[in-house]
Structure 1
Amino acid sequence: MTNTKRTRQRFTREEFGAVNFRLIEYLEEHSISLNWLHEATGIRYATLYDMGSNVQNSINLIHLNMIMDALNISDMNLLLEKLD
C-alpha cells in the first residue's frame, strides 16, 4: 500500500476572487458598537475587529453564525460582498 499525502489546493485572491466582510460598515449603518457585538457573541473583540477590517483571510462559520444571530439577520449577503 502506498502512503500518499493529500494536499489542499490553495487559491490566491486573483484566482478565486476576493470577498469583503462588511461587518464594520453594517455595524456603523445600524449604530451598533463592536463592543456590544463582542458582549452579545462572546467572540473576542480583537477577533471581531480583525474580521471587520478584513485582516483575516478566512471566516470561521461558527463565528459568522453567532454574529448573524446576535444581529438578528438571516441573509449573509448583508455582511459579505464579492469584489471583482
Structure 2
Amino acid sequence: MMCREGCGACCIAPSISSPIPGMPNGKPAGERCVQLSADNLCQIFGRPERPAVCGGFSADPQVCGETSAQAIQLLGWWEQMTSVA
C-alpha cells in the first residue's frame, strides 16, 4: 500500500519517543508533529534529522484503513493497545 498524500495520520495519532526537530522530547499520541505542514506533508521527509521510527513506518491497510479519518482512528487504537500503562 502507498501512503495517501496529505493524510498525516502517522504524524498525529501515535506517540513518538524519539527527538524530532522542534520537539526534543518526541510527541505524545494525538498531538500533531511540528514538522507536519498545513497540507499534511512531512517537512523533514528524507532528511537525516527525521526520526528512524518515522522513516521505518510503512503504510498498511491494517493501520491506515481506507481513508485518512480511518487511519487516525486505527493508529489511535493501535497506540492504546500497545502503550504501557
Bin for the TM-score computed over the shorter chain: 0.3 to 0.5
Instruction: Flag the structure with higher strand content.
Output: 1
**Higher relative contact order at CA 8 Å, sep ≥6: structure 1 or structure 2?**
1
Larger radius of gyration: 1
Instruction: Flag the structure with higher helix content.
Output: 1
